[in-house]
Amino acid sequence: MTPEELAHLRRARDLMDREYARPLDVPMMARAALMSPSHFARQFRTAYGETPYSYLMTRRIERAKALLRRGDLSVTEVCMAVGCTSLGSFSSRFSELVGESPSAYRARDHSATAPVPACWAKTVSRPSRFREAPS
């Protein structure tokens, strides 16, 4: 992969990081990367180890975790705020990545992590389907 292709892929990844709440699809992300949709999907997976959709959903779940920790929004409101349109799909993906349902995560006490800087908490608690769920 050339440095130019990596720069184009970063542009698409940055789009997902910024605009995660918007409806994004592979053709839109591929346009940002100046690639065809199929080439973009293959190159993205090669570069980042996951599909564009998986990366986008992980970003949405990260933001959902932060909103649920605040406790002032319902799970449905959080689902819509992060760009998901199906509560069932959102809850399934959240449970798969986090290891517990959004409702259980929201109900848990998060005061112990309050003094942790957000940049560190984000790095340590990033949802991953490759990490074991807490037991």
Top pLDDT among 79 and 109 is at 79
CB 29 within 8 A of CB 16: yes
DSSP codes, 51-72: -HHHHHHHHHHHHHHHHHHH-S
Question: Which pLDDT score, from 0 to 100, does residue 77 have?
Answer: 96
Q: pLDDT over 90 for what percent of the chain?
A: 70
Question: Which pLDDT score, from 0 to 100, does residue 124 have?
Answer: 58
Question: Which pLDDT score, from 0 to 100, does residue 120 have?
Answer: 63
Span 43-72, average pLDDT: 92
Residue 129, helix vs strand vs coil = coil
Q: Is the pLDDT of residue 30 over 70?
A: yes
CB 33 within 8 A of CB 8: yes
Sign of CA dihedral 25, 29, 31, 37: negative
Amino acid at 17: D
Q: Is the pLDDT of residue 14 over 50?
A: yes
Note the pTM of the prediction, 2 decimals. Answer: 0.81
Span 104-109, average pLDDT: 89
Q: Is the pLDDT of residue 65 over 70?
A: yes
Q: pLDDT over 70 for what percent of the chain?
A: 83
